[in-house]
């Protein structure tokens, strides 16, 4: 048996491998349950007692040599693979695909940057809000349709008979952040409120139940509608190009008076008409107006001393115009073929 062990020691010392298959063969031959070492340990039972000490020492040495050789051969294969991978100049560059921001994030940051350049600060607030901040303090009447389940996602709806009724809901606009700013800061106030909002709307190429807004608020003494118009014209031309035209159409919002909706000339069709602009050549991008005195008073701001304007825009539609995307549902589908187009856009 000692002769067998010595032969195996010599064989292990001289062993070499040229790949993973040969390394596995070495392991199976010497170290597996049905390998040579297992057979030798079975045979060791029949060794005479006088020879057991010497034979046992040799057998343990053989086992340790086999393990050490296996580890050495395995490490040699790994280092060889790494060396060949890094030194093969014929190999292509590393397939490291750099990601990018989502197009909504790109446009959101661009909008924020435009308004920060003219003195607006950024304010944020909770997405799950109470009725008081979303509707009541913004001059929404108790029977206003926006409060209905058909338009608003309610987390909990309290019965009107409750002694302290307060509905909890997903905010339908980031104007709720403006209310919190007016309650916690004294004029002058010049802030924008970017964030995600939720409305119970049918999903289509031009609308979604989840979308993003950036709302602005400016309150100070002697603020006029002319200030609002010039601010929005600056934004439109910075965002869509110097040749962009805007138009303001009279509208109604409970929290502004007078109110207007602003359209920009459609950059997708160049004003010729397409499915995005409903073949009018114009695309509505935001609502705006002078802050209603009732809103100022509800937030403890003297409406006789201060005036202000507010505006609110979706992020998806400017992104549609900027990147000429004709279906905003693409922004939510996580199709890698679509998102890869914005890899270099930061």
Cis peptide before 188 (omega within 30 of 0): yes
Token pair of 177 as six digits:
């952040």
- % of residues, the chain, pLDDT over 90: 39
Tens-digit pLDDT profile for residues 75-92: 877 766 655 555 666 666
pTM value?
0.66
Tens-digit pLDDT profile for residues 129-157: 999 999 999 998 888 877 776 688 888 86
Tens-digit pLDDT profile for residues 242-280: 888 899 999 999 999 999 999 988 877 777 777 767 788
Residue 96's pLDDT band (cuts 50, 70, 90): low
> What is the C-alpha to C-alpha distance for residues 209 and 139, in angstroms, rounded to an integer?
24
Q: Where are the domains of the chain?
A: 2-87, 103-342
Q: In this structure, are residues 295 and 139 in contact, taking their beta carbons and an 8 Å threshold?
A: yes
User: What mean pLDDT is predicted for residues 160-172?
Assistant: 72
Task: Please tell me the CATH code under which domain 103-342 is placed.
Answer: 3.30.930.10
Whole-number pLDDT of residue 115: 96
**Residues near 160 by beta carbon (within 8 Å), at least 6 away in sequence:** none
Whole-number pLDDT of residue 208: 83
Residue 46's pLDDT band (cuts 50, 70, 90): confident
User: Which is more confident, 138 or 97?
Assistant: 138
Tens-digit pLDDT profile for residues 296-314: 999 999 999 999 999 999 8
**Residues near 208 by beta carbon (within 8 Å), at least 6 away in sequence:** 201, 316, 328, 329, 332
Whole-number pLDDT of residue 163: 46
User: What mean pLDDT is predicted for residues 273-299?
Assistant: 88
Whole-number pLDDT of residue 299: 94
> What is the C-alpha to C-alpha distance for residues 183 and 296, in angstroms, rounded to an integer?
9
Whole-number pLDDT of residue 162: 56
Tens-digit pLDDT profile for residues 6-44: 777 788 888 888 888 888 888 888 778 777 777 777 777
Across all residues in the chain, what is the average pLDDT? 84
């Amino acid at each position: 048996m000692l002769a067998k062990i010595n032969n195996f020691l010599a064989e292990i010392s001289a062993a070499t491998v040229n790949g993973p298959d040969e390394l596995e063969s070495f392991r199976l031959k010497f170290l597996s349950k049905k390998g040579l070492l297992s057979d030798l340990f079975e045979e060791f039972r029949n060794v005479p007692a006088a020879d057991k000490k010497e034979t046992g020492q040799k057998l343990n040495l053989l086992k340790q040599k086999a393990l050490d050789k296996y580890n050495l051969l395995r490490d040699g294969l790994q280092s060889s693979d790494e060396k060949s991978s890094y030194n093969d100049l014929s190999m292509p560059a590393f397939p490291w695909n750099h990601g990018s921001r989502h197009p909504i994030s790109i446009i959101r940051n661009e909008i924020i940057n435009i308004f920060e350049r003219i003195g607006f600060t950024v304010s944020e607030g909770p997405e799950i809000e109470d009725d008081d901040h979303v509707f009541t303090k913004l001059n929404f009447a108790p029977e206003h349709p926006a409060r209905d389940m058909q338009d608003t996602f309610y987390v909990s709806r309290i019965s009107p008979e409750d002694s302290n009724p307060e509905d909890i809901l997903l905010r339908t606009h980031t104007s709720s952040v403006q209310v919190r700013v007016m309650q916690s800061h004294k004029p002058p106030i010049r802030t924008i409120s970017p964030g995600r909002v939720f409305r119970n709307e049918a999903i289509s190429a031009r609308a979604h139940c989840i979308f993003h807004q950036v709302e602005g608020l400016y309150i100070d003494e002697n603020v006029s509608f002319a200030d609002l118009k010039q601010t929005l014209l600056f934004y439109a031309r910075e965002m869509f190009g110097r040749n962009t035209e805007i138009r303001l159409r009279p509208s109604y919002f409970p929290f502004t008076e007078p109110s207007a909706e602003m359209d920009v000339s459609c950059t997708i069709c160049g004003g010729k008409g397409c499915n995005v602009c409903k073949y009018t050549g114009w695309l509505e991008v935001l609502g705006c107006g002078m802050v209603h005195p009732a809103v100022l008073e509800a937030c403890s701001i003297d409406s006789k001393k201060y005036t202000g304007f507010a505006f609110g825009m979706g992020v998806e539609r400017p992104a549609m115009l900027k990147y000429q995307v004709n279906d905003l549902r693409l922004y939510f589908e996580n199709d890698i073929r679509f998102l890869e187009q914005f890899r270099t856009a930061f």
